Structure 1
C-alpha cells in the first residue's frame, strides 16, 4: 500500500508541476476575471501549501496501509478534482492549467489506486464530512494565503496614497 500512498504524492507533484508552469501565463489573459490572476510566486506558494497537505495524507496513508480516512478522502478529492479541470476548459473553450495531466496522470492514477486498495482488501472508509470540508478548503485557503502579500501591498498603497487637502 506504500506505492498507492506515496503514488498519490508523486501524481500530485507531476500534475501540479504542470499547473505551476502554466498558471502565471494563463492568468494574464485579458478576458479572465481579476480573481483568477496569479503570479508565479503566488502559484508556487499555493502549490507548496497544498503540497504539505498532500504529503501529510500520503504519509498517513503509508503508515496505515491506506486505511486512513484522511488519506482516502485526499485520494478521492484528487481524483474528483479532475472534473474541475475538464469543466474549466469546456466553459472557457481552451486549455486551462492542469488539463494535460488530468487525463494522463490524475484519472489513471486515481482509478489504479482505488483498484489496488480494493484488491488488497483495504476497507474503504465512509466519507467523513469533516475531512471533506477541510480538504475542500485546502486549495482556496492556500491561494488566499499566497495572495496575502498582494493584499497587504494594496492596503498599504491605499492607506498611504495621496490625500485630498482640507
Structure 2
C-alpha cells in the first residue's frame, strides 16, 4: 500500500513551492524585466510581467489540477497515469526553475523550493512507488502536457483577470 505521503505529498510539496511563487512572482517579473531586456533584446519580456491578481488566479487554478492529480493518486495507490504524469511534470518543473536561475544568473521565483522541496519530493515519491511495486509508466510524451497545462492555466488567468473596457 502506497502511503498517503506519496500521493497527497504531491499537493503538499506543490503548496510549499507555489507559496514561494505566490510571494515573489509578480514583483520579481517587474524588477527583472529591465535587466532581462538589456541582456536579451528582442525577447518579448513584456509578456513575462504579470499582476499579483493574475498570479493568485493562476496558482489557484493550478491548485485544482494538483489536488485532482493527488486525489487520483490516492484513489489508485499511485497507479493513476494522470498522477504519475503530474508527478513527472512537477519534478521537471523543479529542474526548469534551476535552469531559469542559471540562465538569468540570479534568483527566479521558485528557485529556493525547487532544490529543497520539488526535486527531493519527486525523487522520493518515484522511489517509494517503485519500492511498493507500483508499475511506473510516466511516458516521455506525457511531459509534453506540462507546458500545455501551464500555458492553459496562465491563459485562463489572463482571461479571468483582464480589465474589461466599458
* TM-score computed with the length of structure 2 as normaliser: 0.86
What is the aligned partner in structure 1 of residue 25 from structure 2?
A: 23
TM-score by length of 1: 0.86
* Structure 1 counterpart SS, 2:137: coil
Q: How many residues align?
A: 154
- Pick the aligned partner of 1:10 from 6, 12, 19: 12
On the 8 A contact 1:89/1:99 being kept in 2, the answer is yes
- In the alignment, the residues of structure 2 paired with residue 103 and residue 134 of structure 1 have an alpha-carbon distance, to the nearest angstrom, of 22
SS at 1:87's partner residue? Answer: helix
Cα 1:126–1:91 change in 2 (3 A) is closer
Structure 2: unaligned runs, 5 residues or longer: 37-44
User: Unpaired segments of 5 or more residues in structure 1?
Assistant: 161-166
TM-superposed deviation, 1:65: 0.2
Equivalent residue runs for 1:63-74 within 5 Å = 63-74=75-86
Residue 146 of structure 1 pairs with residue 157 of structure 2: yes
Call closer, same or farther: CA 1:107–1:152 in 2, change over 3 Å.
Answer: same
Q: Distance in 2 between matches of 1:110 and 1:144?
A: 27
Q: 1:113 aligns with which of 125, 144, 147?
A: 125
Shift of 1:24: 1.1
Q: Counterpart in 2 of 1:164?
A: none
